[in-house]
Amino acid sequence: MAQVTINENEVDIVIGALHSDLKSFLNEWKPIFSRFHLIIVKDPDLKEELQIPGGFSADVYTKSDIERVVGSSAVLFSGYSCRYFGFLVSRKKYVVCVDDDCVPAKDTAGNMVDPVAQHIVNLKTPATPFFFNTLYDPFRKGADFVRGYPFSLRTGVDCALSCGLWLNLADLDAPTQALKPKERNTRYVDAVLTVPVRSMLPVSGINIAFNREAIGPALVPALKLAGEGKFRWETVEDIWSGMCVKVICDHLALGVKSGLPYVWRTERGNAIESLKKEWEGVKLMEEVVPFFQSVRFSQSATTAEACVLEMAKTVKEKLGKVDPMFSRAAEAMEEWVKLWKSVGSS
């Protein structure tokens, strides 16, 4: 890992609470999370009171807090989208987000992985989106730029988004998991790479971190499936948000990294039952990916907020006719920017 100073006062850890009993989850993470400020957002659909152990510096937000802050809004904060409220109210430069069904992973030497530290290293070291380095991250200890890499590009660009991975239950879609019910990810690949410019990727919200000052408004809770459930493979909100972030990062000359750190995902859910809910999202992706590949912004769009507003207009014009869900997503994107300006930057 590169040598980077981690300032606890620059980091918020956001947890979307879809389970009421967080004792086991937080106790597993205590050696890592106890150094940092936590923002815990309770899913508005969750009826039971949250059970949170001591030993943490945490702010907890419930349905009444969300309604008080955002009022009547087209933005929906239910299910996994509740975490976006944490993004909105955070005041830190860096935000780290881990799902509440994950525990710390171990590397190949059996050491506990500190995802917060690795995410911050990813975000604080440059990204190289304009020319692929075959030794992956040239800023890691023991690595460098290979022969033939242009010296004019070796300074890299700021990294805005760090996408971590998962051991055990990988973030597969419901059809794949249903077809391969015993499939588990046991490969710990000790690598970080920059996703090249104009290359799309499915961003999983399970284990991510981002520079809130650079691209916070681009992580937008917009696309909600009609039958969206409470398991990751029953949603596409993070996939849509991730594609928004990627094209905006490309336009603003910011980097996106994927790879380390890993978390361990625990077993839950029924892929076959979930398939009934997610199939709608699987089909929509065939329309969504070509759309994002074609997105271009004006030269006047120099902030994440401006890019989201331009994209919302294009979504409405080009995808609104495909499915009314996209028109609702465009409306939510516009509303999100208003919320960010009134709440997120106050």
How would DSSP label each residue in 272-333? HHHHHHHHHHHHHHHHHHHHHHH----TT--SHHHHHHHHHHHHHHHTTTT-HHHHHHHHHH
pLDDT tens per residue across all 346 residues of the chain: 567 889 999 999 999 999 999 999 999 999 999 999 999 999 999 999 999 999 999 999 999 999 999 987 778 899 999 999 999 999 999 999 999 999 999 999 999 999 999 999 999 999 999 999 999 999 998 999 999 999 999 999 999 999 999 999 999 887 888 889 889 999 999 999 999 999 999 999 999 999 999 999 999 999 887 777 667 767 889 999 999 999 999 999 999 999 999 999 997 677 767 666 556 667 788 889 999 999 999 999 999 999 999 999 999 999 998 889 899 999 999 999 999 999 855 6
Q: Which residue blocks in 110-158 are alpha helix, DSSP H? A: 115-124
State the pTM of this model: 0.95
The full 3-state SS of 184-237, as one line of letters, equals CECCCCCCEEECCCCCCCCCCCCEEEEEHHHHHHHCCCCCCCCCCCCCHHHCCH
The CA distances from residue 228 to 200, 232, 346, in Å, are: 23, 9, 32
Which candidate, 326, 302, 304, places its Cα nearest to that of 316?
Answer: 326
C-alpha dihedral (21, 22, 27, 29), degrees to nearest 10:
150
3-class DSSP state of 112: strand
3-class DSSP state of 131: coil
Single-letter amino acid code for the residue at 5: T
Q: Map out the domains of the chain as residue ranges.
A: 103-345
What is the reported pLDDT for 269?
A: 72
What is the reported pLDDT for 277?
A: 59
Which candidate, 161, 157, 180, 160, places its Cα nearest to that of 170?
Answer: 180
- d(CA 22, CA 46) in angstroms, rounded, equals 13
Is residue 98 within 8 Å of residue 206, measured between CB atoms?
yes
Q: What 8-state DSSP symbol labels residue 123?
A: H
- Count CB neighbours of 142 within 10 A: 5
- d(CA 259, CA 161) in angstroms, rounded, equals 12
The phi, psi pair for 199, rounded to 5°, reads -100, 130
- Count CB neighbours of 112 within 10 A: 13
The phi, psi pair for 147, rounded to 5°, reads -60, 135
Contacts of 32 (CB under 8 A, 6+ apart): 104, 112, 114, 115, 116
- d(CA 241, CA 217) in angstroms, rounded, equals 10
Q: Which residue blocks in 3-82 are alpha helix, DSSP H? A: 23-33, 63-70
Which candidate, 37, 19, 15, places its Cα nearest to that of 206?
Answer: 15
3-class DSSP state of 59: strand
Is residue 103 within 8 Å of residue 25, measured between CB atoms?
yes
